Amino acid sequence: MSASAIRLGVVGTGYVGLTTGACFAHLGHHVVCGDIDQRKVDLLNNGHIPIVEAGLEQIVRDARSAGRLEFVFGAGAAAADADIVFLCVPTPQSEDGSADLSYIETAAAQIAPFLKSGAVVVNKSTVPVGSTLAVEAVLQRDDVFVVSNPEFLREGTAVGDFLQPDRVVIGSANRGAAEKVAQLYDTIDTSIIITDPASAETIKYAANGFLAMKISFVNAVAAMCEAVGADVTAVVEGIGSDKRIGRQFLQPGPGWGGSCFPKDSRALVKIAEDHGYNFSMMKGVVEVNDEQRARMVDKVARAVGRHHSNLTGVTVGAMGLTFKAGTDDLRESPAMAIIAELRRSGAAVRAFDPTTCGELSPHQELVLAGVELTSELIDVADGADVICVFTEWPEFAKVDLESVAQRAGAGTTMVDMRNLFDPADVKNAGLGYDGVGRR
């Protein structure tokens, strides 16, 4: 069978599912994406992309024009006649830190009657070790194979990450099924790692855990820099120049967040715990991240001469809300966690983010309740007692700092949680400045 003849089904049209389906269609495969949200299916069929992701709208449009990408209602409709079906559904975190497999199990039950003999079901979602066996148990189909093919997509650069990956990991107890999935990537120049399911599932968690560790490490170094009077910018340049370490993920900030790192880091701790290992290093990574958010709250309080428990009457101007630039995702956003703490202490928050200027999604409306949103970045400075840079949107760096100072008033400090601005430029404009690990 040639790669071009493979028919794919994708269950779920979130960040992972929509990117996976669109990119495989871009590579020449015929893809049917199914979702249980009829509204989302209708939006996609009408050419509307419900998420912010660079390049995604174009490849969806091109694939649909070529007749290689369809959107349908329901998991069963996506799985019917498919040679390979990708499960791209949420795996939210349970209260004990473990991954909730209910969505995966429900999806598997829904597609089971529609799978043709010899089909391959692929876990694309981030799932705990042993999940391939769990899916097999739900499917109850001896003539169907289950494979793990974890995603390594970064929100904001997901299309590029899919089409130009560092590696593709495939885990299966059946070599033929693994090679069938590997065929899909034939036109991509990258290494294919074929291993057992447990190893593939562990690779995904370990990769995210290591990246979270680098961020927590540099944030701890930034705290030390503030204590000893060093400049974290110079320190990062020095250690990042070491090829064994590298510069990526050594940018200090308000802590890591998003849909992956928080739940995957905690899940890694829980998986280890369930198998009798105390992953104390990973626990420390999570603790440092929590501490970093608390340190940012303290910075805001110090900027207005208050204790963090009493910010009544303080107005905070917030630059950015998403967990990082290039995405509209507010899930586990450090900005939202810090803002929530500031509001609990009595502060009023006026915010701007490029992704919240239009109609808000139900999720955005829920998490942004009580936050005043502005239509222009400069408006967050009006009467602000402190201005916080939460997200590193590149366009923020172009703001007229003197205008910000004029709108905010004398004595206002900028708490630059992303080290986006030059401290001298901010001070010369008439604002106070407090970055992360900077003098």
Residue 266 CA to residue 217 CA, distance in Å, equals: 17
* The pair of three-digit structure tokens given for residue 291, joined into one six-digit string: 């501490």
Q: Strand 7-11's sheet: what is its strand order?
A: 69-73, 30-35, 7-11, 84-87, 120-123, 145-148, 167-171, 191-195
Q: Give me 413's structure tokens.
A: 């400090």
How many Cα atoms are found within 13 Å in the side-chain-facing hemisphere of 202? Answer: 9
Provide the β-strand partners of residue 35. Answer: 73
Q: 192: alpha, beta or left, given left = phi > 0 and alpha = psi -120 to 50?
A: beta
Name the active-site residue from 33, 88, 260, 388: 260
Collect all residues with Cβ–Cβ distance below 8 Å to 310 and sequence separation of at least 6.
345, 346
Q: What are the structure tokens assigned to 207, written together?
A: 């990769």
Q: Does 23 qualify as catalytic in the annotation? A: no
Nearest to 254 by CA among 214, 295, 217, 283: 295
242 DSSP assignment = S
The residue written with tokens 């693994």 in the block is 178
- CA neighbor of 315 nearest in space, from 391, 387, 369, 409: 387
329: alpha, beta or left? (left if phi > 0; alpha if psi -120 to 50): beta
Sheet holding 348-352, edge to edge: 372-373, 348-352, 315-319, 386-389, 413-416, 432-434
Q: Which sequence positions are flagged as catalytic?
A: 260
